[in-house]
A and B are shown apart, each in its own frame.
Chain A
Amino acid sequence: ETGVTQSPTHLIKTRGQQVTLRCSSQSGHNTVSWYQQALGQGPQFIFQYYREEENGRGNFPPRFSGLQFPNYSSELNVNALELDDSALYLCASHRTGGTEAFFGQGTRLTVV
């Protein structure tokens, strides 16, 4: 177990709705990254947060947004859900400058 916890584990939403996914990072880790993993593919980087600021972003539209809180936990928000947003959303935490990212078990989002 990595110490990174995500909630909820599974979620079903309707197209057009909004969703918030949550992540508690491992103790002592001040950097959190979010990844989207479509079925049968590798994870794709969405964005990263460090000290409550977005610190890098992948090729995802603005309707994907996030927050990091003073305790380093984080949220991923997705507005105007589309069917293609159905995926496993992974949160990873690590120390700044550390090479090892510890992943949570993910949130399985299904958009219908």
Chain B
Amino acid sequence: GQQLNQSPQSMFIQEGEDVSMNCTSSSIFNTWLWYKQEPGEGPVLLIALYKAGELTSNGRLTAQFGITRKDSFLNISASIPSDVGIYFCADLNAGNMLTFGGGTRLMVKP
């Protein structure tokens, strides 16, 4: 089956720094979704991307759907302590079933 590879696996940054993480796929995607999961909670959708080349922002978050349709990146600008969590990329297939990557764990030092 298709695989989603996220990198880096973890990041430990200083508050105020910008963050970049990415996700690559072994196959072409029609949808890229970025989720955040905090301890004790389920994943929450941050950004959804539907077209190759699409660049979408949600506050301090920006994500892009790669031109090859096999990758996507998520940037967080001016990180704050509440950005701590695990960030997942995911594909949504025609049956509304999600395939998740392994996640990037973000830790922010105040």
Which residues in A have some Cβ–Cβ distance to B below 8 Å? 2, 4, 31, 33, 35, 41-45, 48, 55-56, 58-59, 90, 92, 94, 96-101, 103-106
Contacts and interface: CB of A to CB of B under 8 A. Distances in A.
Nearest to B92: A99
Given A41-B103, A42-B103, A94 B43 contact: no
Nearest to B9: A40
Interface of B: 1, 4, 31, 33, 40-45, 48, 88, 90, 92, 95-103
Contacts of A106: 40-42
A56 B45 CA distance: 22
A55 B88 contact: no
Nearest to A48: B97
Contact of B99 (A45, A48, A97): A45
B61 to A, nearest CB: 16
Contacts of B44: 2, 103
A103 B42 contact: yes
